[in-house]
Amino acid sequence: MAERFCGAIVGAPALAYLAMPTAARMWQDGLWHRLSVLTGLLALSALVCAAVLPSRLRSLNRAFGIESVIELHRYLGVVTTALVFAHLACVVAADPRNIALLDLTRAPLRAQAATGATVALVALAALALLRRQARLSYEVWRASHIAFATAALVFAAVHVLGLGQLVTDTVFATLFALMALLVLMVFGYRWAWRTWGDPSTEFVVRDVRRENKTVSTLVLEPRRRGTGPATSWAFSPGQFAWIRLERSVLAEEHPFTIASSAHDGTTQFTIRHAGDFTSTIRRLPLGSPVWVDGPHGAFTNDSDEAGGFVMIAGGVGITPMMSMVRTAAHRGDRRPYRLVVVASKPEDLLFRAELAQLRQHMDLEVTEVLRRPTRGWSGHTGEIGVELMSVVLSGAESPETFEFFICGPPALVTDALSVLDLIGVAPQHIHTEQFDFA
Ligand SMILES: Cc1cc2nc3c(=O)[nH]c(=O)nc-3n(C[C@H](O)[C@H](O)[C@H](O)COP(=O)(O)OP(=O)(O)OC[C@H]3O[C@@H](n4cnc5c(N)ncnc54)[C@H](O)[C@@H]3O)c2cc1C
């Protein structure tokens, strides 16, 4: 779905160009020249799409889900690089003397810019592939990713502006102006408005609650301006937001799922102390400001169509499920909720008391599974298998109408997906979220 949507956007400028009467003039210039124009145009629109996709457009993330959006962004990055090399090959094939354009000391500005854009794209691809091997921290990777992406866009714009005969053509000029406008509007919204202008992003810390040794819950409420009312915000259970501790475009931002009910007065994030940022969060003083960019994502059960829900959570991956069951309790949802919680040790099982309470008010069953059971543990142990799923679904009426949600470490998501496949759950009823899309 998202792929088709993006394919249409990437292909539209090239198709529009082909359909325009002015394009006929270009056809007289030979096959390679035509192909160089088309590959260039396709590369440019793929680059623009790749840049716009991860720009936190909430409606886009809600429609397609953040995982699909990021996957598509990566895919378009590869496609853009391949198209740029195809464009280069066509330019040289159209006239072998064009190879001289690669000599940066003598090449005109438009060709220097084209080389700059190509180098920036190759650097982006190399960084993406080598991040884990090179053990680059997320922050260093993100800063260099943004720097190279900006360089690729700026160099591409300089290259296009330097192609005299193209920008003077009305069709091309209109297409380029529309692309530039799209990029400026989306970046303005993402970097300027959401950082400095949008009051709905401002929150204050009302509480920081320890859940266990390694997990805390950050409780936020919207910031009030003077005596006026606090800004309101709405989200669907299961969605996430990016949290920042400073109002600056340079501030570190990290994504966390909203764990509270969609109808709560406060907004809560349950956070595992994974590194420096998450450890800072647990020490935040009450009343300190926090900026929340969200809600994002399509990992939500906010639909009346499903007959019930099976939710498989690993570790802190229980946060979206908590939002779903808390919201269901608020709404008096009578549908069956079957929650499978996988943890290493008993002390890693979060929200046990609250879940026991919720079970008294709604059709909720919780199946706890320990990877490393302690002596005396009589519950389930080991991997998620077909046997466990049949226990979870036993007694459920019309399980074919259920929606399945999986959130946790990659290995758990993979295991759960293969079990659901074995028991015949159709892929369109399965929703996954992994806490790492870097
Ligand atoms: C959609 C989504 C929802 C999430 N929800 C929760 C949640 O509810 N509770 C929770 O405890 N954790 C959640 N996470 C994970 C959380 O974002 C990371 O644990 C956190 O960013 C780690 O930051 P750090 O500096 O403390 O640790 P680091 O040691 O810097 O990072 C640990 C790992 O987290 C990943 N990471 C770091 N920063 C980011 C970032 N800005 N964006 C994406 N990944 C990053 C990297 O792969 C890194 O290797 C979620 C992640 C995603 C993508």
Tens of pLDDT, residues 386-404: 999 999 998 878 888 999 9
Cβ–ligand 1 distance for 437 under 6 Å, the answer yes
C-alpha closest to that of 354 among 341, 372, 345, 371: 341
CB 228 within 8 A of CB 284: no
What residue owns the CA closest to ligand 1's atom 13? Answer: 256
Task: Determine the pLDDT at residue 27.
Answer: 57
Residue 50 parent element (H or E): helix 31-52
Task: Determine the pLDDT at residue 221.
Answer: 93
pLDDT beyond 80 at 97: yes
CB 150 within 8 A of CB 50: no
pTM of the full predicted structure?
Answer: 0.88
Task: Determine the pLDDT at residue 63.
Answer: 87
pLDDT beyond 70 at 23: no
Q: If pLDDT is split at 50, 70 and 90, which confidence band does 21 have?
A: low
Burial of 376 (0-12, 13-18, 19+ CB in 10 A): exposed
CB 131 within 8 A of CB 438: yes
The whole-angstrom separation of Cα 263 and Cα 326 is: 9
- Best mutation site among 270, 300, 436, 437 for ligand 1 pocket (most ligand atoms within 8 Å of CB): 436
Task: Determine the pLDDT at residue 420.
Answer: 95
Neighbours of 8 (CB within 10 A): 10
pLDDT beyond 60 at 26: no
What residue owns the CA closest to ligand 1's atom 20? Answer: 254
pLDDT beyond 80 at 72: yes
Contacts of 238 (CB under 8 A, 6+ apart): 257, 297, 299, 300, 301, 302, 320, 321, 323, 324, 405, 433
Q: If pLDDT is split at 50, 70 and 90, which confidence band does 227 have?
A: low
Separation of CA 297 and ligand 1 centre (Å): 15
C-alpha closest to that of 257 among 339, 317, 342: 317
What residue owns the CA closest to ligand 1's atom 1? Answer: 435
Ligand 1 atom nearest the C-alpha of 273 is 26
Cβ–ligand 1 distance for 148 under 6 Å, the answer no
In the DSSP assignment, the letter for residue 258 is: B
C-alpha closest to that of 351 among 368, 371, 327, 375: 368
pLDDT beyond 80 at 150: yes
C-alpha closest to that of 162 among 39, 40, 29: 40
The whole-angstrom separation of Cα 292 and Cα 201 is: 5
CB 352 within 8 A of CB 211: no
Residue 380 parent element (H or E): strand 380-381
Mean pLDDT along residues 63-70: 87
Q: If pLDDT is split at 50, 70 and 90, which confidence band does 29 have?
A: low
Q: What is the mean pLDDT of the chain?
A: 90
Secondary structure class of 280 (helix, strand, coil): helix
Asked which of 206-220, 284-298, 334-348, 380-394 is least confident by mean pLDDT, the reply is 380-394
Distances (CA, A) of 30 to 18, 92, 115: 15, 13, 24
Separation of CA 129 and ligand 1 centre (Å): 19
C-alpha closest to that of 254 among 238, 233, 269: 269
Contacts of 213 (CB under 8 A, 6+ apart): 347
Contacts of 39 (CB under 8 A, 6+ apart): 83, 86, 87, 90
Distances (CA, A) of 226 to 27, 203, 288, 425: 64, 14, 16, 52
Cβ–ligand 1 distance for 251 under 6 Å, the answer no
pLDDT beyond 60 at 183: yes
Task: Determine the pLDDT at residue 397.
Answer: 80
Q: Which residue has the tokens 């009030």?
A: 224
Higher pLDDT, 289 or 15: 289
Q: If pLDDT is split at 50, 70 and 90, which confidence band does 438 have?
A: low
In the DSSP assignment, the letter for residue 97 is: G
Q: Which two tokens stand for residue 212?
A: 């266990």
Q: 369-378 pLDDT, tens per residue?
A: 998 888 888 8
Cβ–ligand 1 distance for 435 under 6 Å, the answer yes
Task: Determine the pLDDT at residue 244.
Answer: 95
Ligand 1 atom nearest the C-alpha of 254 is 41
Q: If pLDDT is split at 50, 70 and 90, which confidence band does 228 have?
A: low
Separation of CA 437 and ligand 1 centre (Å): 9
Distances (CA, A) of 358 to 43, 238, 250, 262: 53, 18, 41, 16
What residue owns the CA closest to ligand 1's atom 37? Answer: 138
Mean pLDDT along residues 15-21: 74
CB 107 within 8 A of CB 99: no
The whole-angstrom separation of Cα 408 and Cα 319 is: 10
Q: Which two tokens stand for residue 145?
A: 């990713």
pLDDT beyond 80 at 300: yes
What residue owns the CA closest to ligand 1's atom 27? Answer: 275
Task: Determine the pLDDT at residue 28.
Answer: 61
Angle made by CA atoms 413, 302, 324, in degrees to the nearest 5: 60
What residue owns the CA closest to ligand 1's atom 35? Answer: 436
Higher pLDDT, 229 or 408: 408
What residue owns the CA closest to ligand 1's atom 24? Answer: 275
Q: What percentage of the chain reaches a pLDDT higher than 90?
A: 61
Q: Which two tokens stand for residue 361?
A: 């008010």
In the DSSP assignment, the letter for residue 391 is: H
Higher pLDDT, 137 or 313: 313
Mean pLDDT along residues 318-339: 96
Neighbours of 78 (CB within 10 A): 15
Cβ–ligand 1 distance for 268 under 6 Å, the answer no
Buried b (16+ CB within 10 A) or exposed e, 295-333: bbbbbbbeeeeeebbbbbbbbbbbbbbbbbbbbbbbeeb
pLDDT beyond 90 at 260: yes
